[in-house]
Structure 1
Amino acid sequence: MTQPAAVPADGNLKVYYVATLADPENPTVTELNAGTSKDLSCYITSDGFQTTLDEQTITDNRLCSRATYERPGRWQKQMTLSYVHNPDSTANNVAYLTFPYLATGYIVARWGVPYENAWAASDLADVYPIQAGKPSKNPPAENTVLTVTQKMFITGESYDDAVVAA
């Protein structure tokens, strides 16, 4: 078997905050580039874009069987962001200022395309409707920068591999 090609993670993820989307399943290039949209990619730490999926199990036992079967049950997506914090500069503190407690909007993430490439029609992106939790300033440590960690509550249907429209 030939080894399949892999895509490096470094520099190949773009993460934006978008205030509103007319159709979250098909965000448009115009919406992603709107003046109210924020490019968070260079604020989020290299390990700071955390999405998880918790999928519950439905047990399906039958009287006639000694086996226990299962089926997929409810699921929950979760997101946490960790980003740099520069309290002395509004120009360099965009992520922190974008997410005051209870702020709403969308996180849109494009995977596997160089960060520098502009949004384009037919890009695939994950779209999460969010409400910001309380920001928590992380403890300072030697040889590090100041950071904040913040839970983003997923407030509705999210879309994996949504197609960006023109």
Structure 2
Amino acid sequence: MVQTIPNGVKSMGTRRVVFIPGGVADLDAITVAEVTSGENVSCYLTRAGGFEVGGEQQTITDSRYCSAQDFEIPGTKQKTLQTQYTFNLGDPLQDEARLALVEGTKGTIVHFLQKDEDDDTFEADDWYEAVNVECGEQSVVAVEDNAMDRIRQKLFVQSNWVQFKQLVAGTP
């Protein structure tokens, strides 16, 4: 028997992140117009630690009187999102992430998957995952040798995290 190994898709350079202040009408059907109105912060995010999704799911123990075995069922879930991005105080046109992600600002983060590395436009059928967030405090990263000035910032998750959706052509 011959084993077939499916093709993989590289992740480096193929992700984009757009912040849409105020949010979108429907996380499950984000429109091209909504994304285009947002701030593309992709090239501000650092590769290491720039877009860190975390989370955990609790376990509910299901212990039955008639069994010597304890069973498990899924419990509550929590998603977290930490960002890290560059900033440039001397040029507002080169400081868009810091200016868009002001503490207390609410909006939608749209994380695009498997975009061509040279593609900075968005169109119907692009794959994404998205979540509504509130921006936390912007904290300047300590000085490091051979490093860019960066900000670390928690984005507080405020909705269900939707995954594997595709942009729609319509208007919001």
Q: TM-score normalised by the shorter chain: which range applies?
A: over 0.9
Q: Which moved more, 1:116-125 or 1:103-112?
A: 116-125
Of Structure 1 and Structure 2, the greater helix share is in 2
Q: 2:58 & 2:78 partners in 1: Cα distance?
A: 9
Q: Which moved more, 1:129-138 or 1:154-163?
A: 154-163
The residue number in structure 2 matching 1:145 is 148
Q: Give the alignment's Cα RMSD to 1 decimal.
A: 1.2
* AA partner of residue 88 (structure 1): G
Report 1:1-166 matches (<5 A): 1-19=3-21, 20-34=23-37, 37-47=38-48, 48-117=50-119, 118-166=121-169
- Calculate the TM-score normalised by the size of structure 2: 0.91
Consecutive unaligned residues of structure 2, counting only runs of 5 or more, are: none
Q: 2:101 & 2:33 partners in 1: Cα distance?
A: 22
The Cα offsets for residues 92-120 of structure 1, whole Å up to 9 and x where unpaired, read as: 11111111111110100111121433212
- Calculate the TM-score normalised by the size of structure 1: 0.94
Q: 2:51 & 2:62 partners in 1: Cα distance?
A: 35
SS at match of 2:99: helix
Q: How many residues align?
A: 164
Write out the 4+ residue segments of structure 1 that deviate beyond 3 Å after TM superposition. none
* AA partner of residue 11 (structure 2): A
* AA partner of residue 11 (structure 1): G
- Contact 2:134/2:155, CA 8 A, preserved across alignment: yes
The Cα offsets for residues 59-103 of structure 1, whole Å up to 9 and x where unpaired, read as: 001111111110111101110110012122211111111111111
The Cα offsets for residues 145-164 of structure 1, whole Å up to 9 and x where unpaired, read as: 01111000011222111221
Q: Identity of counterpart residues, as a percentage?
A: 27
- Contact 1:14/1:115, CA 8 A, preserved across alignment: no
Of Structure 1 and Structure 2, the greater strand share is in 1
